[in-house]
Amino acid sequence: MRWTIKPIPEKKQVEELSAALKVNGLVAQLLLQRGITTYDEAKKFFRPELSDLHDPFLMKDMDVAVSRIEKAIADNENILVYGDYDVDGTTAVALFTTYLREHYDNVATYIPDRYIEGYGVSFQGIDFADDNGFSLIIALDCGVKAVEQVGYAKEKGIDFIICDHHRPGAQLPDAIAILDPKREDCEYPYKELCGCAVGFKLVQALATKKEKSVEDLLPYLDLVATAIAADIVPITGENRVLAYFGLQVMNSIPRTGFQAIINQIKKQQLTITDVVFIIAPRINAAGRMKHGQHAVNLMMEDDLEKAEVFAQEIEQFNLDRRGLDQEITEEALAQIRDNQEEERFTSVVYNEHWHKGVIGIVASRLTETYYRPTLVFTKSGDKLAASARSVKGFDVYEALEGCAECIEQFGGHKYAAGLTLLEAQYGAFKKQFEKVVSETIDQKLLTPEIRIDAEIDFHQITPKLMRIIRQFAPFGPGNMTPIFMTKGVQDTGYGKGVGEDEKHLKLNLTQNGSKPIGAIGFNLGDSIEKTRNRQRFDIVYSLDENEWNGQVSLQLKIRDIR
């Protein structure tokens, strides 16, 4: 594990912000490291308001999109709401369809089959629209690169409105409107919206024309927050506002489908982390194991009894998914060992029987054991399909471009990609990918990095600091949980392994005679020897709260020990 201390802001800046906000230097430093430099920026950060959201009509083509939808409603056209099968796509479809159906009946949903149609707008989906008399398709979380498909729809007299957040290609589809903040000609002030949030901006624009305020749309924000959390977009700017209020909705008046999931997991308060690790995998499991429409049905259901039946189905999909991904991960690790590939720069594994719906999860799991660019292949029709995952700082998409002659097609971004190739190309691809990565990767990137916000002493950890840090939430890219380093700590003699196979570490820590603080280190059971016999050691950790028998106490969540 590499420990890297983030750049420390200039002393003058820290002092000025500290004085303006009446907070100590440590809090001012944490804010500056998150790009917050003034009193007004700090106020927006700590006290988000719905009025901070931008005018949706600042987005290129928004006026055209609204006019076309209003015309469709006036002319009694059939509207098809089309979205991808992942969390961002299914939440977007549930959100947009729920809103439209409050004002209009002729609306249906369409989620492509992950295995038959694949990602994005499919020709099959357009044929479905044509066969069933739909003249307008609203595509959410996909479509910005669907040049051929949108052209095909146009030939059939079907119009497209695209709400996407992916980078457009050289040519834009011939759609009525393309809402995408990443369009070069779009001057929308915030570029990092997820697909569901772009759909929400269209709803906001439609509602504005009906003289409704953004406060009236608050009940939709639990869906937007779920998509923001699952799609791992920065939780800054407008996303922070949407996630902040979305979590409030989730914890006070969640939609019936979410209530059904919450009832199953028996959790009182959900954080953004709970959404990432509890809600999102369940929604995703529908598309992975069966069909994304199951997730949409759950999120749009108003009847709690029916929603609980849907939630039980989805819980089963998730259990099946979990079992599969554990089984395949073990097989993939065995394949690496059997081939004696532990010391390579890359992991590339293949088995024709592996389930296509979980190979992305397996690729992520493999990087936990062998931290390096990873591809997991399986059979898909007469070709092989793979999910690629990278390590921080290394562009896997660029590496795949260096193997283009061995690949049929690929797409994705810096840290995750998907590709297909012919079975005969697999050996050559595996060789070439290893060559490209070994020649281009900086060796230090093959060791995981922990970025540390500040080195502090235990006397600086107070209930007041904990209260302030709690207000930094919701955490996520662009505003990660603050990570601290403290040197020369000792265990009071309490240290022990806990959990299955004692793989976790529980300690009671003190520094230079300070009052002891409880600490937990998940998957750090192997480090117990470093903590015995009152020897001093250094730790990297975040501040956490431990709830036990109704009592809440501060505890350190240790990330690494030296």
The per-residue pLDDT for range 284-339, each reduced to its tens digit, is 999 889 999 999 999 999 999 999 999 999 999 999 999 999 999 999 999 999 99
Question: Mean pLDDT score of the chain, rounded to an integer?
Answer: 95
Average of per-residue pLDDT across 200-211: 97
Q: Is the model's pLDDT at 539 over the cut of 90? A: yes
β-bridge partners, 125: none
Average of per-residue pLDDT across 265-283: 91
Q: Residue 280: CB partners within 8 Å, gap ≥ 6?
A: 87, 226, 229, 230
The per-residue pLDDT for range 432-491, each reduced to its tens digit, is 999 999 999 999 999 999 999 999 999 999 989 999 999 999 999 999 999 999 999 999
Q: Is the model's pLDDT at 550 over the cut of 80? A: no
- Which of 474, 478, 498, 500 minimizes the C-alpha distance to 555? 498
- pLDDT of 136 reads 98
- pLDDT of 169 reads 85
Residues 160, 104, 107, 199, CA torsion sign:
positive
Cβ proximity of 521 and 562 under 8 Å: no
3-state secondary structure of 143: coil
Confidence of residue 116 (pLDDT cuts 50, 70, 90): confident
Highest mean pLDDT among 240-249, 409-418, 495-504: 240-249
- pLDDT of 159 reads 98
Q: Is the model's pLDDT at 413 over the cut of 80? A: no
Beta-strand ranges (E) seen in 153-211 are 159-163, 177-179
- pLDDT of 303 reads 97
Cα 18 from Cα 452, distance rounded (Å): 20
**Max Cα distance, the chain (Å):** 80
